[in-house]
Amino acid sequence: MSTDPSTSSGADTPVPTCYRHPGRETYVRCTRCDRYICPECMRDASVGHQCVECVADGNKSVRRPTTTLGARVPTSDTPVVTYSLIGLCVVAYVAELASVKFFSDFLMVGKAVDQFGVPIAGVGVAEGEWWRLFTSMFLHQRPSGGSFGITHILFNMWALWALGPALERALGRWRFLALYLLSGLGGNVLLYLVDPTGSAVGASGAIFGLFGAFFIIARKFGGQVGPIVFLLVINLVITFSVPGISWEGHIGGLVTGALLALAFVYAPANRRQAVHVGASLGMLVLLVALVVVKTSQVTSGAA
């Protein structure tokens, strides 16, 4: 800190004032730019004080720490994306409880047919309702809508709460969000390819993508994989043994999540960001292309 002791040099000597607040007298200068600063504009530095602008300029040159996978270490420990996804699923569940139409308008169905197998015009992905590929991953079975009812959303939200924070910290927010959404999309795309007249709801495809990614990341960095393998095996057994469960959604999400995790984990350090973005965009393009091809087949009667 530097000061000007000449406080009694005469009436002709101007009294120094803060460069940001001209009406405030001060004799303290910024140790970096040497401008006068008042107490409100002072920021503690290793030596003396600095003004707010010099502190901001200094922070720009400081690199934020990153995780092993290249994600910036968040300034807060709160898993914002995980909690936001849980919140969206809960809000959607309340909406579908209040309106059956909300549920039917946003569930996943490729080409809707009636009980006699006659196509229903205007309903399904093949009829231009492409948003069903995304919106369905936020819906869950209604209490009277199947073998599981409310336990469907309870288990999926528990799994997201259990796995999400760790993956979000390791991958960073945008990678984690891409992993979740693309895994859910991958599950719905596989259902569309295998059974275009089938329907499904749930975050299970995205959750299975998290299972696959957690296994890949833990295996790469020497973490314990036993618990996630056990959980995955149990869920696969349930998937193929309980009627009414979309195995396509689960397997599609698992494969998509595992492939993305492989790209995230094994990307060269000097090109990590480009590979991560490229892998995410490449997966999206691939899934969209598969939907376009299948839609062409369905609409032409070749499905």
Inter-axis angle of helices 204-220 and 247-266, to 10 degrees?
Answer: 30
**pLDDT value for 106:** 95
* CA atoms of 299 and 282, how far apart (whole Å): 26
SS3 294: helix
CA distance 282 to 142: 34
Q: Given the structure tokens 């975050």, which residue do they identify? A: 203
| CA 108, chain centre distance (Å) | 21
Q: Are 207 and 159 in contact (CB under 8 A)?
A: yes
- Concatenate the DSSP letters of all residues of 167-214 into one string: HHHHH-HHHHHHHHHHHHHHHHHHHHHH-TT-EE-SSHHHHHHHHHHH
Residue 179 dihedral angles phi and psi, to the nearest 5°: -60, -45
The secondary element (H helix, E strand) that includes residue 44 is strand 43-44
CA distance 171 to 61: 24
pTM: 0.77
Which H or E element spans position 49?
A: strand 49-50
Terminal-residue alpha carbon distance, the chain: 78
Residue 34 is predicted with a pLDDT of: 87
Question: Positive or negative CA dihedral for 268, 274, 278, 280?
Answer: positive
For the chain, give every residue range classified as CATH 1.20.1540.10. 80-295
The residues assigned a catalytic role are 204, 250
How many Å apart are CA 57 and CA 30, to the nearest integer? 13
Q: Which CATH number fits domain 80-295: 3.40.50.720, 2.30.30.60, 1.20.1730.10, 1.20.1540.10?
A: 1.20.1540.10
pLDDT score for 135: 96
From CA 289, how far away is CA 286, in angstroms rounded? 5
- Model pLDDT, residue 285: 98
d(C-alpha 164, C-alpha 25), whole Å = 53
Among candidate residues 169, 182, 181, the one with its CA nearest the CA of residue 214 = 169
Is the CB of residue 88 less than 8 Å from the CB of residue 94?
no
Cα 203 from chain centroid (whole Å): 13
Output the tens digit of pLDDT for each of the chain's 303 residues: 444 544 444 456 688 899 889 888 888 888 888 898 898 888 888 778 888 888 888 776 656 666 667 666 666 688 999 999 999 999 999 999 999 999 999 999 999 888 777 888 889 999 999 999 999 999 998 887 555 678 889 999 999 999 999 999 999 999 999 999 999 999 999 999 999 999 999 999 999 999 999 999 999 888 888 889 999 999 999 889 988 889 999 999 999 999 999 999 998 988 988 999 999 999 999 999 999 999 999 988 654
